Structures are given as structure tokens and as C-alpha cells.
Structure 1
């Protein structure tokens, strides 16, 4: 029962953070959260640990938990690594991807275009993750897949970009269209180059979030 409650709290807090309802630097007070979710402290602690694993929450000595604050250095380093890893994976996938996987990507593209049209950032974010997961999985290199997905998981807070920068949806989708063209053409060199360009482009947009917090950092979460 405790595990189910912690998962419920985790999902709720994760969505509030990604929607920027809980801004960077917001303190997450254990007792207030427990009261809000009508829970004991234990499920809340477990939910906060899961959010810390995702890179969405950080534990501050003598102050407890707070929503992770994005830093310019972290963004630059993360997207440098992600860009090169996903570039390699996408190039390999262009040679190895199956017709079934291409079909799954084509189906996702239809949904992503609809999400862009509706300006549905949360849904686009979920579809975007699935899109890249399929491509990376198709590369045929299990270690490369694990490394790439581990970085995705640890820095999932960067998905806030699709909630906070609405114009990023259309730009990302245009870049996805180019990658898809290269995959269908089995053009490994072009697919790798476009994947690298895509990650650099997203990283540049995420960098703007550092300078545009929606509220004062350090605010306590309200129950």
C-alpha cells in the first residue's frame, strides 16, 4: 500500500515540476506534502527519493528537499554528451532499424504533429521521449542504449522546455521530420548529423530557462 501511495505522490509532484507549477528552487516540506496527499511521511520520502533519482529534486543539507535548479554548466555538459551519444545511436539505427520500428516511428510522428497543432506540451514531451527511445533501441548496441537512457532519466527535468517554451514544439518536430527522412533513406551520415544538430538546438532552448524563472527561488511549496 505504501508503494502505491509513494508512486501516486511521485507522479503528481513530477507533473507539477514539469509543468513549472513548482518552480526551480521551491522547497518541498515533508509535513506539508504529507498533509496535502493525506499520507504518512514514509511514502513522501520515497517519492522524493524517486524525484531525486530523476534529477528533478535535490537534497540540501539542513534544509531538506527542493526542486532542482538548472545551471548553465549542467545544461551544456549534458547536451554535449547526449548529442554525441544520440548522434552515434541514430547513425547506427539508420543502418539497422526494422520496417516495424520505422512504422512505429511514423505512427508517433502523426501523434506528435497533432500535439504540436494543439500546443500540448506535456503530451508532446511523452511522445518525444518514446520517439528517441525507439531510435536508440534500434542502434543494436546495448551499452550505448543504456548510457543514453540513463542520462535521459537523470536529467528528465529538461523536459520542462516543452511546457515553458511553446515554440519549441514546432521546432523540435521540424527537426524530427528531418531525422525521419534520413532514417527512411537509410542515410547513416545524415541521420547522425541531424540528431547532433537536434540536441544542440534543444540544449540552446533549455539554456534560456536558466535566465527566466517563473517565480522567486526558495519559495516553500504550498499545501
Structure 2
């Protein structure tokens, strides 16, 4: 029962953080959370550990837990690594991807276009993760897949700045369209270059938001 409760609290807090309801630096007080979610301290503590694993929460000595504060340097370094890993994986996928995997990606593209049309950032973000995970899984290199997805998981805190940039959903989707065309053409060089450019593009937008100088309010940003 405790495991189920901790998962429930984890999911609720994660959603609040990713939607910026709980902003960077917000203290997360164990007893207050336990009262809010009608739980004992144990499942709340476990939920905070899971959020720390995701990079969404950090434990500060003598001060407890708080929502992670991101830095421009951390974002630039992470997107540099993600960009090159996903570039390699996408290039390999262009050579090795199966017809069934291409069909699955095509179906995701249809859903992502609908999310862009509806300006549904949370839905687009979920589909976007599935899109890139499918490509990485198709690369045929298990170690590369594990490294890439581990970085996605450990830095999912970046998602909470995926917001309020006009046209970012459409821009991300346009970049996805180019990657898909390269995958269908089995053009590994172009697929790899487009994947790297895509990650650089998103990383630059996220860095701008963290600096506190967003382009303008509007749609959500998605990686």
C-alpha cells in the first residue's frame, strides 16, 4: 500500500512541477506534503527520492527538499551530450529501422500534428518522448539506447521550462518532419545531422527561458 501511495504522490508532484505550478527553488516540506496528500512521512519521502532521481527535486543539507534550480551551463552540457548521442542513434536507425517501426513513427507523427494544431503542449511532450524513444530503440545498439534514455530520465526536469514560446510546438514538429523524411529515405548522414540540429535548437530555447528572457508568452516548448 505504501508503494502505491508513494507512486501516487510522486506522479502528482511531478505533474505540478512540470506544469510550473511548483517553480524552481520551491521548498517541499515533508510534513506539509504528508498532510496535503493524507499520508504518512514514509511514502512522501520515497516520492521525493523518485523526484530527485528524475532531476526534478534536490536535497539541500539542513534545509530539506526543493524543486531543482536549473542553470544555463547544465542545460548546455546536457543538450550537447543528448544531441550527439541522439545524432548517432538516429543515423544508425536510418540504416536499421524496420517497416513496423516506421509505421509506428508515422502514426505518432499524425498524433503530434494534431497536438500542434490544438496547441496541446503536455500531449505533444508525451508523444515527442515516445517519438524519440522509438527512434533510439531502432538504432540496434543497446548500450547507446540505455545511455540516451538514462539522460532523458535524469534530466526530465528540463520539461518544466517547456512553455510559453510562440511557435515552438510547430518548430519542433517541423524538425521532426525532416528527421522522418531522412529515416524513410534511409539517409543516415542527413538523419544524424537533423537530429543534432534539432537538439541544439531546443537547447538554445530552453537556455533562453532559464535566463529569464523568453521570446514571448505563447505555446509550450518541447524537446
TM interval, shorter chain, is over 0.9
2:180 corresponds to which residue? Answer: 180
| Secondary structure of 2:58's aligned partner | strand
Change in Cα spacing, 1:213 to 1:23, as seen in structure 2 (3 Å) is: farther
| 8 Å CA contact 1:19, 1:164 repeated in 2 | no
Alignment of 1:1-223 (within 5 A): 1-165=1-165, 167-212=167-212
| Secondary structure of 1:21's aligned partner | coil
Equivalent pairs counted in the alignment come to 214
| Secondary structure of 2:55's aligned partner | coil
Deviation digits for residues 22-72 of structure 1 (CA, Å, limit 9, x no counterpart): 001111011111111001000000000000000000000010000001101
| 8 Å CA contact 2:162, 2:206 repeated in 1 | no
| Secondary structure of 1:163's aligned partner | coil
| 8 Å CA contact 2:72, 2:211 repeated in 1 | no
* CA positional deviation for 1:164: 3.9
| Secondary structure of 2:59's aligned partner | strand
**How large is the Cα RMSD of the aligned pairs?**
1.3
2:220 corresponds to which residue? Answer: none
Larger RCO (alpha carbons 8 Å, 6+ apart): 1
| 8 Å CA contact 1:93, 1:139 repeated in 2 | yes
Q: Distance in 2 between matches of 1:29 and 1:209?
A: 27
Q: Distance in 1 between matches of 2:71 and 2:186?
A: 37
| Secondary structure of 2:163's aligned partner | helix
* CA positional deviation for 1:159: 1.7
2:217 corresponds to which residue? Answer: none
5+ residue gaps, structure 2, are 215-223
| 8 Å CA contact 1:55, 1:157 repeated in 2 | yes
* CA positional deviation for 1:127: 0.5
* CA positional deviation for 1:212: 2.5
| Secondary structure of 2:179's aligned partner | helix
| 8 Å CA contact 1:161, 1:205 repeated in 2 | no
| Secondary structure of 1:104's aligned partner | helix
The 10-residue stretch of structure 1 (161-170 or 202-211) with the greater mean CA deviation from structure 2:
161-170
TM-score, normalising length from structure 2? 0.93
Change in Cα spacing, 1:213 to 1:34, as seen in structure 2 (3 Å) is: farther
5+ residue gaps, structure 1, are 215-223
Q: Distance in 2 between matches of 1:91 and 1:75?
A: 23
| 8 Å CA contact 1:179, 1:195 repeated in 2 | yes
Q: Distance in 1 between matches of 2:23 and 2:111?
A: 28
| Secondary structure of 1:93's aligned partner | helix
